[in-house]
Chain A
Amino acid sequence: SAVISQKPSRDICQRGTSLTIQCQVDSQVTMMFWYRQQPGQSLTLIATANQGSEATYESGFVIDKFPISRPNLTFSTLTVSNMSPEDSSIYLCSVSESFGTEAFFGQGTRLTVV
């Protein structure tokens, strides 16, 4: 199993600022994903973080708002840019070795924008 460390675990940010969330895995993994979970809702996939290339974004999410980096097979960052109160959510990192195996999730970053 993979152990995921997400930082920060929570933050309160001013509107208009940006926050970068880090996801560190204790082993090399093929697939990394970023999710958002708004209060009382299910998880929504933001993007697939591709190692060495640009992330693949889901409909409704754009690179300018959620830039993602993945410099190697154990680390990725998600930046939430120019934040507004609507960005207040839990952001989760997920990793998987392949589509035929289980995925592991971090504990999430609870973001509050004021």
Chain B
Amino acid sequence: DAKTTQPNSMESNEEEPVHLPCNHSTISGTDYIHWYRQLPSQGPEYVIHGLTSNVNNRMASLAIAEDRKSSTLILHRATLRDAAVYYCILRAPYNQGGKLIFGQGTELSVKP
């Protein structure tokens, strides 16, 4: 299973943008890059995913490096409710199980 590397923790100020980095140098050509977050006492929540191109949705943006060895999750304006653990995950193709293997994630704290 391909691995990801994320900083253990990051801090942000409310209303400011947050850039959460993820390194995945062993990514294969068919791995999707997924991001999930887990708020305290809740199950993980989907944030965004992509394969090669940058992606935007109502929650965040995902910037993928041209060589796909790294990606960045961008929260455009952090709120206190964005405080969570953010997981960057490489998802294998269905014929390899389609599993989501979680790493340690980045704990994001947001200061008012």
Q: Please give me the residue from chain B that is nearest to A43 by CB atom.
A: B102
Once A and B bind, how many residue pairs between them come within 8 Å at the CB atom?
53
Chain B residues in 8 Å Cβ range of A107: 42-43
Chain A residues in 8 Å Cβ range of B46: 102-104
Whether A42 pairs with B100 at a CB distance below 8 angstroms is no
The count of chain B contact residues (Cβ–Cβ below 8 Å) is 25
Chain B residues in 8 Å Cβ range of A48: 97, 99
Interface residues on A, range: 20 to 34
Chain B residues in 8 Å Cβ range of A104: 46
A31 to B96, CA, bound (A): 12
Q: How far is the CB of A76 from chain B (nearest CB, A)?
A: 15
Q: How far is the CB of B47 from chain A (nearest CB, A)?
A: 9
Residues of A within 8 A of B (CB): 30-31, 33, 35, 42-45, 48, 56, 92, 94, 96, 98-100, 102-108
